[in-house]
Amino acid sequence: MAEALRIGIAGLGTVGASVARVLSEKAAELTRQCGREIVVTAVSARDRTRDRGVDLGGAKWFDDPAELARSADIDVFVELIGGDDGPARACVKAALEAGRHVVTANKALLARHGVLLAEIAEKKGVLLNYEAAVAGGIPVIKTMREAMAGNSVSRVFGILNGTCNYILTRMEAEGLSFDACLKDAQRLGYAEADPTFDIEGHDTAHKLAILTSLAFGCRISADDIYMEGISNISQADIRAAGELGYRIKLLGVAQITESGIEQRVHPTMVPTASVIAQVHGVTNAVAIETDILGELLLSGPGAGGNATASAVVGDIADIAKSRPGFQHGPVFGRPAKELKPYKRARMRSHEGGYFIRLTVHDRVGVFAAVAKRMADNEISLESIVQHAAEPEAGTAKTVILVTHETTEAAVRKAVDGITKDGHLTDKPQVIRIERAG
Ligand SMILES: NC(=O)c1ccc[n+]([C@@H]2O[C@H](COP(=O)([O-])OP(=O)(O)OC[C@H]3O[C@@H](n4cnc5c(N)ncnc54)[C@H](OP(=O)(O)O)[C@@H]3O)[C@@H](O)[C@H]2O)c1
């Protein structure tokens, strides 16, 4: 049998401790599958005394993860510290430069420094595997990088943040407010004490940036992503969506358009009957549209110790099975040096349907004035409905418009015009409608 594959794990938190446990509990099965043993020979974390729920007695302890990364006693460096800078970046770079394979679950690191790290990995002829960085346990990276050779992707979109999907699912199912659902998510450990990163879309954007590069063969460009979170989604929106045959999801969407690549993260109305609308709670899903395959949807657990460990262990097993001297495939599907510059499509040129909810004064002429602003901007309406407003809005009325396909620029201009006309008693709400099968 080949020599054992020696693993160094930096970070023994939720994911790191689960990875160590799975490698220990599944040691015999992994040896059978990989044809060699996988042994954790070294570990690093901040607190040496903390019980990690797994016996790490046989592994050498390193206070400094960068020292572990450079250690000659490991073949694979597994980075599970997190963060786009600081120790994670320094030690992944050090490990690759020292010729070690790297496995990481760190989407923030890859979204910021992925191309640079891929260049080092490819120069050194080692693997940089990151399946767990996007959608946790769902094997989307492998699917896009390996199983879809020859396919040209036109759009990739998904529910990439379990916290947001949990909140939106409960708001709809139980009629609760955003704040009440967020508090529950925090109590159950689905949301961080500071939830901004999740609910304002940053986490989804990091994952989307990686998918965009894989899908379109371009350099990663996380800073170019248009981003809106879910904190301003109200019960009024959820109810109106339901009445119109839609469900609200926070989606990350990347698509090829005539003016470039669109990358956007925002609350989205998807048809209630679509497959992605059936993805509830903390579950994640990724849909990929290609010329050969058509539309593929993968869904499953997007976070948590076990699900994430499953992806990390899969990446480690791939390294265990790879043959010495074998030229590995490129990290982002194409050689890092050949990734095209990212050509950004401006959000104003986005084309699609729109849901617009306006809270207006209850007076003569408002309805006609709203309709006129739409017509002036060449927006054709699928429906326009007047409702009694929410009880807290007093005598105001709600007008709900659904547009046919139009541009973001036209919608913004029309809504600005309506606001200037002085008919609104509250901020207008605009939610994009996404085509989904
Ligand atoms: N949690 C999930 O469900 C999930 C899902 C997908 C991807 N990920 C990604 O997986 C990575 C780890 O996440 P996590 O949830 O496991 O984080 P976590 O529970 O906060 O664990 C972080 C670990 O890093 C260690 N650490 C921090 N600074 C260190 C330093 N300077 N030197 C050595 N060790 C250091 C900590 O040590 P101490 O324990 O001693 O404090 C801790 O063990 C992140 O990149 C995250 O984005 C997580």
pLDDT per residue as tens digits for the range 239-263 = 999 999 999 999 999 999 999 999 9
**CA of 210: how far to CAs of 176, 227, 312, 333, 423, in Å?**
33, 15, 17, 11, 43
Query: Does 124 participate in catalysis according to the annotation?
Result: no
Write the residue with the smallest CA distance to atom 10 of ligand 1.
105
Identify the pLDDT of residue 391.
65
Atom of ligand 1 nearest to the CA of 16: 16
Give the pLDDT mean for 421-437.
Answer: 95
- The kind and range of the H/E element at 8 are strand 5-10
Query: What value does the mean pLDDT take over residues 401-405?
Result: 98
**What separation in Å is there between the alpha carbon of 306 and the centre of ligand 1?**
14
Whether 226 shows a pLDDT value over 80: the answer reads yes
Distance, in Å, from the CA atom of 1 to the CA atom of 129, rounded to the nearest integer, reads: 24
The three-class DSSP label of residue 3 is coil
247 class by beta-carbon count within 10 Å (0-12 exposed, 13-18 middle, 19+ buried):
buried
307 lines ligand 1 (CB under 6 A): no
Distance (Å) from CA 17 to ligand 1 centroid: 9
Asked if residue 105 has its Cβ within 6 Å of ligand 1, the reply is: yes
pLDDT digit string, tens, across residues 59-102: 999 999 999 999 999 999 999 999 998 999 999 999 999 999 99
Separation of CA 12 and ligand 1 centre (Å) = 6
Query: What is the layout of strands, in order, in the sheet containing 60-62?
Result: 60-62, 38-44, 5-10, 76-79, 101-104, 128-129
Closest Cα to atom 44 of ligand 1: 82
Choosing from 51, 63, 78, 80 the residue with most ligand 1 atoms within 8 A of its CB, the one to mutate for a pocket test is 80
- pLDDT tens per residue across span 369-385: 999 999 999 999 999 98
pLDDT digit string, tens, across residues 166-212: 999 999 999 999 999 999 999 988 888 889 999 999 999 999 999 99
In the structure encoding, which two tokens stand for residue 164, read together? 């947001």
Strand ranges, E, within 153-244? 153-159, 226-227
Q: How far is the CA of 88 from the centre of ligand 1 (A)?
A: 10
* 3-class DSSP state of 291: coil
- Expressed in angstroms and rounded, the spacing between residue 9 Cα and the centre of ligand 1 is 11
Ligand 1 proximity of 185 Cβ (cutoff 6 Å): no
From first CA to last CA, the distance across the chain in angstroms is: 48
Q: Is the CB of 333 under 6 A from ligand 1?
A: no
The mean pLDDT value for 409-434 works out to: 97
91, 166, 239, 369, 391 from 173: Cα distances, Å: 44, 10, 10, 35, 20
Q: Which amino acid is at 190?
A: Y
Binding site membership of 47 for ligand 1 (Cβ less than 6 Å): yes
The pLDDT-based confidence of 392 (bands split at 50, 70, 90) is low
* pLDDT tens digits along 97-127: 999 999 999 999 999 999 999 999 999 999 9
The region that residue 88 occupies, defined by phi over 0 for left and psi between -120 and 50 for alpha, beta otherwise, is: alpha
pLDDT number for residue 324? 75
Asked if residue 406 lies in contact with residue 350, where contact means CB atoms within 8 angstroms, the answer is: no
- Which one of 93, 207, 249, 397 is the catalytic residue? 207
Token pair of 306 as six digits? 């076990």
Query: Which pLDDT score is estimated for 215?
Result: 97
Predicted TM-score (pTM) of the model is 0.96
- Ligand 1 touching residue 284 (CB < 6 A): no
Tell me the pLDDT band of 395, cut-offs 50, 70 and 90: confident
> CB of 10 closer than 6 A to ligand 1?
yes
Q: Tell me, in angstroms, the distance from the centre of ligand 1 to residue 170's CA.
A: 28
Looking at the chain, the whole-number percentage of residues with pLDDT higher than 70 is: 99
Whether the Cβ atoms of residue 147 and residue 191 lie closer than 8 Å to each other? no
Instruction: Give me the chain's average pLDDT, please.
Output: 95
Checking if the pLDDT of 394 tops 80, the result is no
The CB of 302 under 6 Å from ligand 1? The reply is no
Q: Is the pLDDT of residue 2 over 90?
A: no
Would you say residue 393 has pLDDT above 80? no
Q: What is the pLDDT of residue 326?
A: 74
What pLDDT, on the 0 to 100 scale, is given for residue 154? 98
Average pLDDT of span 308-313: 98
**Pair of tokens at residue 302:** 């997007």
136 lines ligand 1 (CB under 6 A): yes
The residues, ordered by sequence, that sit 6+ positions from 288 with a Cβ below 8 Å of its Cβ are: 140, 143, 144, 148, 153, 155, 156, 215, 295, 296, 297, 298
